[in-house]
C-alpha cells in the first residue's frame, strides 16, 4: 500500500517558510503532488527534498511566480511526461504524468475562472480538452490516478451554503456538469468512497476567518479510474495542516 498526497501549496517557497519540509518528513508520503508551486525548477530546493528521499519532477509556467505542478516521489517512475502536448496549457505548467508499472499518476492544476470571463472561458476550454486527452490516454494507460486542484466543487455537499454560490466560478452549473461527465466516463472520487459526510472541505478563503468558521470548498481530489476501485484502502483531508489556503488530501492505494 502507498500513501499519496495532493496539496496546493500556494507557493512552494512560502510553504517552506511555514514548516512544509518538517511536516513532509513527519507525514512521510510515498508520493506528493504539489500544485501552484509558483516557482521554476531552479528555485525549488532540490537537495532538501532529496535528503528526505524524494526525487522531484516539475513543470513550471513560463510566467514566473505563477501556477506550476511538481511531484515528489520515493517510488521511481518508469517514465515521466511533461504537459499534455498543447502549449496553450503547457506554458502554464498544468499537467505532469508519471508511469509506475501498470499505473499512471497525473498531477493536474485545473485553471481558476475567478479572474473574469476570459479566464472562465479558458477554464472551460481546458476542461473540454482535458477530457479528450484523458480519453485518449486511457486507450494505452487504462489505470489512472488523477490528483490535484480541480477548482470545482462537484456537488452541493462539497461547498458551504451552496445556494449562495450558484453563480460563482468553481460551482457553476456547466463546471459541475463537466465533473458529472468526467466521473461518468469511468472515474471514482476516492474521498467519497470512505467519507460521505458534509462540511468536509479542502480550501478556504483567506478572508473573514473562513477557515476558522469552516466556510470551505472541496476542490482538491484524487480521482481514479474504476479499474482501481478494489485497490483503494483509504482517503482523507488533512485539515489541520496550514501551510496554504488549501489542505492536503490523501489517498491510500495498492500500487
Q: Are 148 and 202 in contact (CB under 8 A)?
A: no
What's the CA gap between 155 and 216, in Å, rounded?
A: 13
- Active site positions, annotated: 149
Burial 71-90 (b: 16+ CB within 10 A, else e): bbbebebeeebebbeeeebb
CA distances from 205 to 55, 79, 160, 209 (A): 32, 37, 12, 8
Residue with cell string 470548498: 217
8 A C-beta contact, residue 71 and residue 33: yes
Work out the angle between the directed axes of helices 173-184 and 117-140 (0-180°, nearest 10).
Answer: 0
Contact 223, 234 (CB under 8 A): no
CA neighbor of 69 nearest in space, from 90, 99, 31, 95: 95
Cβ contact 170:219 at 8 Å: yes
Amino acid at each position: 500500500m502507498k500513501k499519496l498526497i495532493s496539496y496546493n501549496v500556494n507557493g512552494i517557497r512560502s510553504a517552506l517558510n511555514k514548516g512544509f519540509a518538517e511536516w513532509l518528513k513527519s507525514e512521510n508520503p510515498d508520493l506528493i503532488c504539489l500544485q501552484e508551486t509558483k516557482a521554476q525548477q531552479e528555485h525549488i530546493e532540490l537537495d532538501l527534498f532529496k535528503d528526505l528521499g524524494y526525487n522531484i519532477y516539475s513543470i513550471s509556467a513560463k510566467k514566473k511566480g505563477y501556477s506550476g505542478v511538481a511531484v515528489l516521489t520515493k517510488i521511481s517512475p518508469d517514465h515521466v511526461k511533461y504537459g499534455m502536448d498543447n502549449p496553450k496549457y503547457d506554458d502554464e505548467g498544468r499537467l505532469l504524468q508519471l508511469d509506475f508499472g501498470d499505473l499512471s499518476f497525473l498531477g493536474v492544476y485545473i485553471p481558476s475562472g475567478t479572474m473574469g470571463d476570459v479566464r472562465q472561458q479558458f477554464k472551460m476550454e481546458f476542461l473540454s480538452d482535458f477530457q479528450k486527452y484523458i480519453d485518449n490516454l486511457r486507450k494505452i494507460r487504462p489505470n489512472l490516478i488523477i490528483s490535484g486542484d480541480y477548482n470545482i466543487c462537484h456537488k452541493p455537499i462539497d461547498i458551504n451554503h451552496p445556494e449562495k454560490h450558484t453563480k460563482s466560478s468553481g460551482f457553476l452549473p456547466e463546471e459541475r456538469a463537466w465533473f458529472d461527465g468526467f466521473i461518468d466516463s469511468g472515474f471514482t472520487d476516492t474521498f467519497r468512497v470512505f467519507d460521505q459526510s458534509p462540511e468536509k472541505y479542502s480550501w478556504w478563503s483567506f478572508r473573514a476567518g473562513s477557515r476558522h468558521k469552516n466556510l470551505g470548498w472541496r476542490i482538491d481530489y484524487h480521482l481514479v479510474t474504476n479499474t482501481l476501485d478494489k485497490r483503494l484502502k483509504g482517503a482523507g483531508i488533512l485539515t489541520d495542516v496550514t501551510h496554504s489556503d488549501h489542505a492536503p488530501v490523501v489517498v491510500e492505494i495498492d500500487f
